[in-house]
Amino acid sequence: MDTSAPPPDRVVAYAQALTGQLRVVSDGVLRAAYLHGSAVLGGWVAGLSDVDVLLVAADGIPNAAVTRMGEVLCEGADSCPGRELECSVVTVAQARQPHPPWPFVLHVTASPGKPGRTVRPGSGSPGDPDLLMQYAVCRAAGWPVCGPPPQDLIGVVPRRAILDYLADELDWGTAHAPEAYAVLNACRGLIYLTDHQIVSKIAGGQTALRRGTGPAEVIERALAQQRGSEPCQPPAADAVSYVLATAATLRSAAADEQGGWRSGSS
């Protein structure tokens, strides 16, 4: 995990400006904002990477404040230095004790020049499993735009939960995501398994090549797509084979983990 350098200056400046607006419209209930994703893991590619932010608000945040935060986030996407802005809003209590179904307050996805999409919890979406990984990345490498260090607010996510999540994400990636996403997530999943580290997609691919832990041709192809030097494509047959085999390895390791954590349990 390359966290020796801060996130790109443009990303930090953008996140600081956005957070300043959020603190005003939320009437001071915003407790922390953490950059995560490729911007903090060392895999940022200008114009291709997302800006990922986890926002932690006070318990009992009023609905009106949630609405105003969603509006600011959607409007703020127009100046986003990345491909897309992805923000999740959770409460202090939700962050302090992460557990299924991974409850949240608001999720916003917005791209420059396009209408944003806001999601609130409901009967069809009581939680967001992706928060599991956001919490883990923030604890490992999150950049505090405001608020205390992420380890002070965000509780530990069990290793077994992370392994199960990574395996599920690989299954999803072979059917719904570009080849680079699926292959490089497989590489970084194996690194998490062996090294207990969360790394960027690019670092995952580079490490897999160096260690010889995956098919070189497939990984090199995925790295070229991730960096933008080759066009994106759906996962080819050789990529699918590697990714699904990795998913099986991660699930087997998860089953061997101690602690009895089960997906869907509290």
pLDDT in tens, 41-65: 998 998 889 999 999 999 999 999 9
Q: Which residue has the tokens 């999720």?
A: 107
| Residues in the chain with pLDDT values less than 50 | 1-4, 260-266
Edge-first strand order for the sheet with 30-36 is 117-119, 106-110, 85-91, 51-57, 30-36, 143-146
The DSSP output letter for 60 is T
Q: Which two tokens stand for residue 113?
A: 């020049």
Q: What is the pTM of this model?
A: 0.92
* pLDDT number for residue 259: 52
Residue whose entry in the numeric block shows the structure tokens 């691919």: 205
User: What's the pLDDT score for residue 258?
Assistant: 63
- Residue 125 DSSP class: B
Burial of 4 (0-12, 13-18, 19+ CB in 10 A): exposed
Listed by start position, the domains of the chain span 9-153, 159-256
With contact defined as beta carbons under 8 Å apart, do 120 and 106 qualify?
yes
